[in-house]
Amino acid sequence: MKASETFRHPEYRHNCAQCIVYKWNKLFANNPEFVEASKGYSAGRAPEGLCGALFAAINALPTHKDEIISEFEAKNGALTCRELKESGVPCPTCVDVADELIEKYASA
């Protein structure tokens, strides 16, 4: 399952950050409360205005922060929610990229 499949899905109603936390909960100590706690990290409300999916990916794998940031920016052209929206990058695309980067580095 792709993380973006729960994005605004009627059953889940996840935002970008919640999609990542929900799928990769094992990296967040298998604590389902983290999904609800990540609710406030969408729409540019993550620290420094970062994309919520990117912020969640960084928190899932902090030892790969630099690589995740670099590759996310290379694939999407920006890091902040505002810049991503202004350049027309949709939220599900950001979630998919963050999901792919976790997949890549979780096994590294």
pLDDT digits (tens, 9 = 90+) for 40-90: 999 999 999 999 999 999 999 999 999 999 999 999 999 999 999 999 999
Q: How many CB atoms lie within 10 A of CB 86?
A: 10
Per-residue pLDDT at 30: 73
Q: Where are the domains of the chain?
A: 3-106
CA of residue 18 relative to chain centroid, distance: 8
Please indicate whether residue 108 or residue 7 has the higher confidence score (pLDDT): 7
d(Cα 26, Cα 84) in Å, to the nearest integer? 28
pLDDT digits (tens, 9 = 90+) for 66-75: 999 999 999 9
Helix axes 65-76, 91-106, angle to 10 degrees: 140
**The model's pTM:** 0.93
Per-residue pLDDT at 74: 98
